[in-house]
Amino acid sequence: MRLAVLKERRAGETRVAATPDTVKKLAALGLTVAVESGAGAGANIADADFAAAGAELAPDAAAALAGAGIVFTVMMPEAELRAQIPRGALLVGISGVHAEPGLPAELAAAGIDACALELLPRITRAQAMDVLSSQANLAGYRAVIEGAGEFQRAFPMMMTAAGTVPPARLFVLGAGVAGLQAIATARRLGAIVSATDVRPAAKEEIKSLGATFIGVEDEETKSAQTSGGYAKEMSEAYRRKQAELMASTVAKQDVIITTALVMGRKAPTLVDAAMVASMRAGSVIVDIAADAGGNCALTVPGERTVSQNGVVILGWRNWPGRIPVATSSLYARNLLTFLTAFWDKEVKAPRLPADDDIIKGVTLTRGGAVVHPQFLPARAA
């Protein structure tokens, strides 16, 4: 069976869905791996490195896809490229289906069996395949590093003969995978760190990393987490109480990292314009949620802006793509683990049992039909 690895074409996407290391392991399964020329350029992987690992280099997408039974991508290929994928092929990657509700029907009509790995269930078996966690972890790290680069003082306390520079105060909004890594990174750099999250389990996680928990604790927070481990959208009454607490906290901070996301919805606005105006000139807001509209009211997705009172706001899109060597490595391993878990060694092809919890969770389309219960045509309408 032929597996194609495509060059990413979406603006700002630097990652790649395979590395020389995973190519070797894919070939060991009995696959012929075809990598489109230039696919690894954004992650500093040369074509020669893929070739040395045993990959077949294809001059373009059409050549890579010719006869392919499996296609690995980072983000869902756009319509023009999807049209070149052979009918019956298995497409594995991040679909972005919540932002593109018509996608499952299009994939079904094209005869593509699509697995959207961002829909993986939060179960133990799926942890090594969890693309959201692997990418968010490094995004949280990168956000703090870039925030530190913009901040015009030091993060740790600096004691010198000329005097003492106080430590930076850093506040993390949202203590999921990205937020927890941001806390850990900021603590390693010597900042005084506090954090907030609506999920009840987050308080102990935040404290375990040496940060101070700040948050509204009431009856609503007891059920603020979905069965999948994600934050629920909170009531208007809760948001008002949270906003009051945030207003008094934000004004004291030097750096804010915002990471709050609600699956399938616009990111909640947690830092409004008045809060930004209360911050000191030279303070920094790093909005990891910019792709989903941003947690800061003044975030401009894709841009670095400066507020009227001198607060720097980083609203870069695709934070994992800002550290592509590391994120590509982890993402490629996620895909390899997924495929290996369902690989039939006898026939040297994937076997995807429809009753398996992981397969039920990630399969959008199969055999020319939409099969995921959340995206059935009637439900999507």
Catalytic residue list:
122, 127, 130, 133, 230
Per the structure block, which two tokens stand in for 341?
Answer: 């878990």
Q: Which own/partner pairs from 185-193 qualify as long-range (CB within 8 Å, at least 24 positions apart)?
A: 185/140, 185/141, 185/144, 185/145, 186/144, 186/155, 186/255, 186/257, 187/211, 189/144, 189/148, 189/155, 189/156, 190/154, 190/155, 190/156, 190/157, 191/155, 191/156, 191/167, 191/254, 191/255, 192/167, 192/168
Q: If DSSP codes are grouped into helix, strand and coil, which group holds residue 114?
A: strand
State the DSSP H helix or E strand holding residue 248, giving kind and residue range, or none if neither: helix 236-250
Rounded to whole angstroms, what are the CA distances from 310 to 165, 205, 283, 285?
A: 21, 33, 7, 11
State the DSSP H helix or E strand holding residue 94, giving kind and residue range, or none if neither: strand 90-94
Per the structure block, which two tokens stand in for 46?
Answer: 């040369």
CB atoms within 10 A of CB 113: 24
Q: Which own/partner pairs from 335-338 qualify as long-range (CB within 8 Å, at least 24 positions apart)?
A: 335/17, 335/18, 335/22, 335/72, 335/92, 335/93, 335/117, 335/129, 335/131, 336/22, 336/25, 336/26, 337/128, 337/129, 338/92, 338/115, 338/117, 338/129
Q: How far apart are CA 158 and CA 167, in angstroms?
A: 7
CB 336 within 8 A of CB 26: yes
Which neighbouring-strand residues pair with 271? 296
